[in-house]
Amino acid sequence: MDEALDAGVQRLDLFFMVGLKMQTYESVMETVEYSRRMLKKMADRGDNRLIPFISPLAPFLDPGSRAFEEPEKHGYNLFARTLRRTSSGFTGAFLEICAKL
């Protein structure tokens, strides 16, 4: 990151996904803390070009994909088969993490 910023990039976006099969609440919070440390480091330098994004990976399985059609076989639990049901289904660990940010 430092090399890219030192080379003069105008903006550096960092994307982190939550909802991966092996993640825990603690590992997600470590990602949040890492992002905070990086933002502070950049702010201390007077630099605001670093932009971290943390967003969910699951439960967004593409309809028609093997994981969507056979979720258990691929290690997923499918809770909704439509966009409306998916958007209304944000509960549990995902909301717990969001509430604590």
- pLDDT tens digit string along 33-91? 999 999 999 999 999 999 999 887 655 567 778 888 888 888 877 777 776 666 565 55
Task: Go through the chain and tell me how many residues it has.
Answer: 101
User: Bridge-partner residues for 14, per DSSP?
Assistant: 52
State the pTM of this model. 0.57
pLDDT in tens, 12-48: 999 998 877 778 889 889 999 999 999 999 999 999 9
